[in-house]
């Protein structure tokens, strides 16, 4: 029983991190229709920015998290402005190829700057786990889970209940009409990409201290983020959240009770099963917004 | 008429003399073309750190050999290829080195899966490879006569550990290994050792090479009531497993196998979570004087520090040194840098590397044997944040 509970807690924490990766990508992939292979690199950027903040300037851990998110937003905004804006009339494939280029360039840039040796990111939380019954959890993971909940709720509020969110929704629903109504759609594109990238950087900053930072860390993150977005339904924040948690728990239970060698396979079997029944993902709506 | 004839003869004579000296010049040029040694290592990807340390060790061997005049009066040149921690890339790197760079011998390719992927290319083109790290048994058992391994297969590691099993107090052990030929082979080898000793084998769990969250596996292992965990993967994942084990209060004797654990890096990155863990290593840079050739080991450690390489890389870096000196020695015995001659000469290599004596014995199906050296195997423990000999092994 303790074992099952521990697996569920592990799955929930892991799923929360998948969800955070997923909501960033669901904005970029689901809303903007950009197949962003570089999403995982913004995740790595977040982790390395946190590491740089902590070791170079010796700043406070929480300030370093803020710095990482800011880095993600700024680099994301520049990427959209410089590389993607000129391609807005182009097909989805062209943009995808450019994003593959960004992915390769960013990953090799990290390798050049930081070297291949993994970095361990220090954090101020005690390493002794909290234990309730037979279930233990590190304090850092509790903090991360809390931060994930806040970030997801914040993104949801931003999109559903602010002027900017309304502008975003209208832009991706019908760009021409939105433009006629006075929405500055080019700026909205840049902002959306920046928010998505900032969320990826936040995920990297939060998960970097739990794991370790290394240049190819983004590959796995991209893979999971795409899985979550497709599982949850494109452009759906609630869907990405539920999708992330479903995937996390499925992998955890699959590894715990089926075979740890097929851990990733179990996750993908669940995705295929869901897509067979609901081809547009768990939570698809006619209007792919919000 | 006579004059013209004379002129022609003279011209021909000059031309012949010129050609002759040109030919001699070519001979000189050939003597000065370097002996090229191909190196295939993971220089990027999840296990990049290890591959880069091996490259650094190989460069030290190259510079030392060249400082002493090289081999056959020629300099040694390393042609280094990145296999990106990916078996597919390892195979194409081997082909590129052989076909384009025309190297007569290769050292590589770190991971067992990468080495296994490169092996058919060696047989296809007939070029020998000295295997410096890979532990899967299948490498020397497949009947590839171009393979010469200086690293221990998992079985040999298990035999090396055998005499310590009682002192370690192992009653029942679980396994957690990277899901590659190396990890699977290791679980097999150490499992067989325990069964032979009449001890119990618990859970056998796997993790993908790029996986970062091993909580599910740890929870499952926790549920088995074993006292020991054999952990087989590279230092990055060992760090994560130790940290996540600590988060879940996993209290086990942990023994890492494969020699890629870099205990110094674990002390730095896993901190308290690494306390008390045991590590099978093939080089002890903390006490070089305890190595078979203490002087060479000390010189290697000093040179490594002089170049500003990180200390934690030494347990991996020596492999690069030993691999390159093995190939250089075989070129010397062969008297030429021809792949077939080097292959035949490798059987006659008898030198001492940083790890210890290197000498190949036949392994695998008769008639197509691979070479397998018998490397030295050591066990160290992390105690009080330092790397030490375990109490039972310290004299």
Residues A159-204 have pLDDT tens digits of 999 999 999 999 988 889 999 999 999 999 999 999 999 999 999 9
The verdict on residue B380 lying in a domain is: no
Higher pLDDT, A52 or A135: A52
pLDDT band at B31 (very low <50, low <70, confident <90, very high): low
Number of domains in chain B: 2
Mean pLDDT of B210-238: 91
Range with the largest mean pLDDT of B7-16, B42-51, B257-266: B257-266
Q: Which chain A residues touch B52 with a CB distance below 8 Å? A: 115-117
pLDDT band at B12 (very low <50, low <70, confident <90, very high): low
Annotate B282-314 with three-state secondary structure. Answer: CCCCCCHHHCCCHHHHHHHHHHHHHCCCCHHHH
**With 90 as the cut, is the pLDDT of residue A72 above it?**
yes
> Between chains, do A136 and B215 touch, taking CB under 8 Å as contact?
no
Q: Smallest CA–CA separation between B118 and chain A, in Å? A: 23
Q: At CA B243, angle to CA B240 and CA B244, rounded to 5? A: 85
The verdict on residue A193 lying in a domain is: yes
What per-residue confidence (pLDDT) applies to A115? 78
Question: For all residues of chain A together, what is the average pLDDT?
Answer: 90
Domain boundary among B221, B249, B281: B281
For residue B9, the tally of other CB atoms under 10 A from its CB is: 10
**Rounded to whole angstroms, how far apart are CA atoms A84 and A90?**
10
pLDDT band at B30 (very low <50, low <70, confident <90, very high): low
Regarding whether B127 and B89 lie in a shared domain, the answer is yes
> Between chains, do B212 and A129 touch, taking CB under 8 Å as contact?
no
**Taking Cα atoms as reference points, which of B123, B155, B125 lies closest to residue B138?**
B155
Question: For all residues of chain B together, what is the average pLDDT?
Answer: 90
Interface predicted TM-score (ipTM) of this complex, two decimals: 0.82
Instruction: Please report how the helices B87-99 and B112-125 are oriented relative to each other, as an axis angle in degrees rounded to 10.
Output: 30
Q: Smallest CA–CA separation between A241 and chain B, in Å? A: 19
Regarding whether B333 and B272 lie in a shared domain, the answer is no
What per-residue confidence (pLDDT) applies to A242? 92
**Parent domain of A16:** 2-123+133-277
What per-residue confidence (pLDDT) applies to B14? 56
> What CATH number is associated with residue B205?
3.40.50.2300
| A41 touches B: beta carbon within 8 Å | no
Domain boundary among B227, B259, B281: B281
Q: Which chain A residues touch B223 with a CB distance below 8 Å? A: 3
**Rounded to whole angstroms, how far apart are CA atoms A108 and A100?**
12
The verdict on residue B286 lying in a domain is: no
> Between chains, do A252 and B215 touch, taking CB under 8 Å as contact?
yes
Q: Contact at 8 Å (CB) between A44 and A221?
A: yes
Q: Contact at 8 Å (CB) between B108 and B129?
A: yes
Mean pLDDT of B202-218: 90
> What CATH number is associated with residue A82?
1.10.3470
Mean pLDDT of A43-67: 94
Domain boundary among B281, B307, B338: B281
Mean pLDDT of B286-303: 95
The verdict on residue A283 lying in a domain is: no
**With 70 as the cut, is the pLDDT of residue A76 above it?**
yes
What per-residue confidence (pLDDT) applies to A142? 92
**A284: CB partners within 8 A, 6+ apart:** A233, A234, A236, A239, A278
Regarding whether B164 and B265 lie in a shared domain, the answer is yes
The verdict on residue B94 lying in a domain is: yes
**Taking Cα atoms as reference points, which of A96, A39, A215 lies closest to residue B82?**
A215
Q: Smallest CA–CA separation between A81 and chain B, in Å? A: 30
What per-residue confidence (pLDDT) applies to B395? 54
**Rounded to whole angstroms, how far apart are CA atoms B246 and B270?**
10
Higher pLDDT, A63 or A281: A63
Higher pLDDT, B78 or B251: B78
**With 80 as the cut, is the pLDDT of residue B20 above it?**
no
Q: Which chain B residues touch A108 with a CB distance below 8 Å? A: 44
Mean pLDDT of B223-242: 92
**Parent domain of B351:** 33-152+292-372
Q: Contact at 8 Å (CB) between B355 and B259?
A: no
| A129 touches B: beta carbon within 8 Å | yes
The verdict on residue A111 lying in a domain is: yes
For residue A139, the tally of other CB atoms under 10 A from its CB is: 16
pLDDT band at B189 (very low <50, low <70, confident <90, very high): very high
Which of A111-115, A167-171, A204-208, B21-25 shows the lowest per-residue confidence on average (mean pLDDT)?
Answer: B21-25
The verdict on residue A91 lying in a domain is: yes
> Between chains, do B310 and A117 touch, taking CB under 8 Å as contact?
yes
Regarding whether B160 and B145 lie in a shared domain, the answer is no
Regarding whether B133 and B188 lie in a shared domain, the answer is no
**With 50 as the cut, is the pLDDT of residue A290 above it?**
no
What per-residue confidence (pLDDT) applies to B5? 56
Regarding whether B333 and B239 lie in a shared domain, the answer is no
Which of A96-105, A261-270, B108-117, B331-340 shows the lowest per-residue confidence on average (mean pLDDT)?
Answer: A261-270
Which of A81-90, A261-270, B279-288 shows the lowest per-residue confidence on average (mean pLDDT)?
Answer: A261-270
Which of A69-83, A219-233, A270-284, B263-277 shows the lowest per-residue confidence on average (mean pLDDT)?
Answer: A270-284
The verdict on residue B46 lying in a domain is: yes
């Amino acid at each position: 029983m303790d074992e099952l509970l521990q697996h569920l807690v592990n799955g929930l924490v892991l799923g929360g991190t998948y969800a955070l990766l997923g909501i960033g990508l669901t904005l970029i992939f689901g809303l903007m229709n950009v197949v962003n292979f570089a999403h995982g690199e913004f995740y790595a950027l977040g982790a390395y920015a946190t590491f740089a903040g902590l070791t170079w300037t010796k700043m406070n851990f929480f300030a370093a998290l803020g710095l990482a998110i800011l880095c993600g937003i700024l680099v994301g905004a520049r990427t959209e402005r410089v590389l993607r804006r000129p391609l807005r009339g182009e097909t989805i494939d062209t943009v995808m190829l450019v994003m593959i280029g960004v992915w390769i360039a960013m990953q090799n840039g990290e390798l050049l700057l930081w070297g291949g040796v993994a970095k361990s990111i220090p954090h101020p939380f005690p390493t002794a786990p909290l234990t309730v019954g037979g279930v233990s959890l590190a304090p850092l993971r509790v903090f991360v889970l809390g931060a994930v909940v806040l970030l997801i709720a914040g993104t949801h509020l931003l999109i559903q209940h602010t002027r900017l969110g309304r502008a975003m929704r209208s832009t991706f629903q019908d760009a021409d009409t939105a433009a006629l109504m006075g929405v500055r759609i080019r700026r909205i594109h840049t902002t959306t990409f920046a928010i998505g990238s900032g969320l990826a950087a936040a995920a990297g900053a939060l998960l970097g201290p739990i794991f370790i930072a290394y240049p190819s860390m983004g590959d796995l993150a991209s893979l999971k983020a795409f899985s979550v977005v497709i599982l949850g339904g494109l452009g759906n924040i609630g869907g990405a959240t539920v999708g992330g948690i479903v995937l996390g728990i499925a992998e955890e239970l699959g590894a715990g009770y089926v075979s740890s060698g097929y851990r990733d396979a179990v996750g993908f079997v669940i995705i295929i099963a869901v897509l067979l029944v609901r081809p547009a993902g768990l939570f698809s709506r006619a209007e792919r917004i919000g | 008429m006579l004059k013209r004839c004379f002129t022609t003869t003279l011209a021909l004579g000059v031309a012949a003399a010129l050609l002759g000296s040109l030919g001699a010049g070519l001979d000189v040029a050939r003597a000065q073309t370097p002996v090229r040694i191909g190196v295939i290592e993971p220089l990027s990807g999840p296990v990049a750190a290890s591959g880069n340390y091996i490259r650094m060790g190989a460069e030290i061997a190259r510079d030392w050999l060249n400082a002493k005049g090289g081999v056959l009066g020629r300099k040694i040149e390393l042609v280094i290829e990145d296999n990106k921690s990916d078996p597919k890339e390892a195979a194409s790197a081997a082909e590129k080195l052989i076909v384009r760079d025309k190297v007569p011998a290769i050292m590589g390719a770190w991971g067992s899966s990468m080495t296994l992927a490169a092996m058919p290319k060696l047989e296809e083109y007939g070029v020998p490879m000295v295997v410096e790290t890979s532990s899967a048994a299948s490498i020397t058992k497949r009947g590839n006569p171009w393979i010469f391994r200086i690293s221990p297969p998992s079985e040999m590691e298990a035999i090396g550990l055998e005499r310590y099993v009682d002192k370690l107090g192992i009653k029942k052990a679980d396994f957690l290994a990277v899901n590659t030929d190396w990890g699977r082979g290791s679980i097999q080898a150490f499992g067989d050792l325990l069964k032979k000793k009449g001890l119990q084998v618990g859970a056998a769990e796997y993790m993908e090479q790029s996986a970062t969250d091993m909580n599910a596996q740890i929870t499952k292992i926790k549920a088995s009531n074993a006292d020991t965990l054999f952990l087989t993967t590279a230092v990055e994942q060992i760090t994560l497993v130790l940290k996540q084990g600590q988060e879940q209060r996993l209290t086990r004797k942990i023994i890492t196998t494969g020699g890629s654990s870099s205990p110094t890096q674990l002390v730095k990155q896993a901190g308290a979570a690494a306390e008390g863990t045991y590590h099978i290593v093939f080089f002890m840079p903390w006490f070089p004087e305890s190595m078979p050739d203490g002087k060479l080991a000390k010189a290697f450690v000093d040179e490594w520090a002089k170049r500003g390489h990180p200390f934690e890389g030494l347990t991996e870096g020596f492999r690069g040194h030993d691999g390159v000196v093995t190939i250089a020695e075989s070129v010397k015995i062969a008297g030429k840098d021809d792949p077939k001659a080097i292959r035949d000469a490798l059987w006659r290599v008898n030198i001492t590397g940083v790890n210890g004596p290197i000498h190949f014995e036949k392994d695998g199906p008769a008639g197509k044997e691979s070479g397998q050296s018998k490397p030295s195997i050591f066990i160290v423990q992390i105690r009080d944040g330092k790397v030490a000999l375990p109490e039972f092994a310290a004299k």
